[in-house]
Structure 1
Amino acid sequence: MPKLSNKKLCADSECSYPILIARALEDFYPQDCRFIPIWKGQIVYVYAMLKDQGNLFWVGSVQGSYYSDQEARLGHFPSSVVQETHALTPATVEVDTDKWDFYCD
């Protein structure tokens, strides 16, 4: 699978801290396994913004009743399907992406 970007913006070098909280404006159905499904109204924790292509894609996890008892997973989604509700930590650290950023089974 091709890389979606060569760089990403994060709060830290490991992209381990959420940079913002957003709410889904609409449903998003994944194109492939690199992406996560998002349902309108869900809360999304954003951990990275892919730098190429004008921040078109973000990386985050969805919290809420859709996952019920399942563990949430990180995945990509278009930034256009969410609206920022809370800024948490500035995304000031530029990190190179690697194949594991876009790897899935």
Structure 2
Amino acid sequence: MSRCDHCGKETALPFTCQHCGGKFCEEHRLPPNHNCVNISSWNAKPRPSVSLNYGKGGVTVTGGGFIPDPRRNAKKTRAEGLPWLKIMAGIVALILLGLALLVMIGYRFG
């Protein structure tokens, strides 16, 4: 267990400040809460955005920035080979042919 550099409280998982390198408890983890010496660098960083606007072509973040939607411009490719419907029709036809053959040779069901 380590102690918070600001209040001295013991914490199992201390937060490390990215601006001053100190170890802090959950109450003092943010730079304004522990009187960080490099608070100016924290103030210069843009705040994380909470809301998203879904629009054409991607997602617009309220705080700025643009997250393109990778699915929007993806090229659709056709699967090579036989379509699954033709394969299933072939399997059903083979089963029916097999049953018809069994009836013709005199096999008794049940």
Q: TM-score range by the shorter chain?
A: under 0.3
Q: Relative CO higher for 1 or 2, CA cutoff 8 Å, sep ≥ 6?
A: 1
- TM-score normalised to structure 1 length: 0.21
- TM-score normalised to structure 2 length: 0.20
The structure with the largest alpha-carbon Rg is 2
Which of the two has greater helix per residue? 2
